[in-house]
Amino acid sequence: MITFLMVLMLLLCGLLIAAVLIQRGRGGGLAGAFGSGGGANSAFGTKSGGIVTVITVAIVVFCMLLSITLAYQYKAAEKREAPATSSQVLI
């Protein structure tokens, strides 16, 4: 289960990187700093800002929930695998 969640997290991170890079530049960014005027163009035209932003926010929310789930799953698996002795204090 943890392996599946980790692979899903990696794929989701790649999708999030792609979604951020597709978004329209608002302030010129790095392209504007070097004098290029093409930094404000989008890959999908001028009206794509709203839907790409919504998709990006949805991916971020799903990524955060998946991170929390993965942390709890990992902690539970760690407790199952560790043998408990009388001298250890379980937290």
Residue 84 has pLDDT above 70, yes or no: no
Quick one: pLDDT at residue 19?
86
The stretch 6-30 carries a mean pLDDT of 81
Higher pLDDT, 70 or 84: 70
pTM: predicted TM-score of the whole model, two decimal places: 0.61
Structure tokens at 26: 């608002």
Predicted local confidence at residue 87, as pLDDT: 60
Residue pLDDT, tens place only, 26-72: 655 555 555 555 545 555 555 556 788 888 899 999 999 999 999 99
* Separation between Cα atoms, residue 5 and residue 63, nearest integer Å: 11
Amino acid at 50: G
**CA-to-CA distance for 66 and 59, rounded, in angstroms?**
10
Q: How many Å apart are CA 16 and CA 68, to the nearest integer?
A: 17
Q: Where are the domains of the chain?
A: 1-22+48-81
